[in-house]
Amino acid sequence: ANKLGSKTERTLAVIKPDAVIKVGDIIQSIYDANLTITKAKMVMLSWKQAADFYTEHQSKSFFNNLLQFVTSGPLIAMEVMGEEAVSVWRKLLGPTDSETARKEAPESLRARYGSDGTRNAGHGSDSLASAARELEFFFPSTAGHSPPNTAKYTDC
Ligand code: RTP
Ligand code: MG
């Protein structure tokens, strides 16, 4: 806890290929929710990288469709920080299935920008442990060299 007694967390937020065109609205929503973006990059994942990232889902029926989708175009990966960032970002996303989201959380990002149960606009880490693994996947800590212009956030 910081000096105000709140739980500042970091989470991985990913804008999936179907919603990259909406990056402006999504960044606005993040700041409106009192969260901060502390790292960001646009990347293309190979099939192998996507399979590694989603390894927990490798035996699921939707695994192939999921990999097909997330390798179909660029993603925007962000480290998002703030009070209860893990749950606040998942709440902003809304229910996994965008059609469910349109019924149950019409203001959510998946309701607004997703299509169905697979093409659903975004990803959010589901726990602090997942966040640590997933942030390391997209933003690996490197020994030694720091490239220029990398902002370092140590607290809010
Ligand atoms: P995410 O990991 O992307 O933040 O989403 P989530 O926790 O709400 O959903 P999860 O169960 O972890 O599923 C990961 C992603 O797989 C795709 N999916 N397709 N039945 C389906 O077609 C299906 N179910 C899941 C979605 O892209 C989901 O976000
Ligand atoms: Mg998940």
Q: What CATH number was assigned to the domain covering residues 8-95+123-138? A: 3.30.70.141
Helix, strand or coil for residue 10? strand
Going by alpha carbons, the residue nearest to atom 3 of ligand 1 is: 123
pLDDT tens string 67-99: 999 999 999 999 999 999 999 999 999 999 999
CA–CA separation, 79 vs 137, rounded Å? 11
Query: Is the distance from the beta carbon of residue 114 to the nearest atom of ligand 1 less than 6 Å?
Result: no
The pTM of this model reads 0.91
Angle among Cα 71, 135, 91 to the nearest 5 degrees reads 85
- Structure-token pair, residue 116: 């169905």
Nearest to 115 by CA among 135, 131, 101: 101
**Stretch 112-126: mean pLDDT:** 98
ipTM of the complex as predicted: 0.94
Q: Candidates 60, 61, 87, 96: which one to mutate for ligand 1, based on the most atoms within 8 Å of Cβ?
A: 96
For every residue of 81-94, which 3-state class applies, written as one string?
EEECHHHHHHHHHC
Confidence of residue 133 (pLDDT cuts 50, 70, 90): very high
Q: Which residues lie at CB < 5 A from ion ligand 2? A: 126
- Structure-token pair, residue 54: 């989603």
Query: Is the distance from the beta carbon of residue 124 to the nearest atom of ligand 1 less than 6 Å?
Result: yes
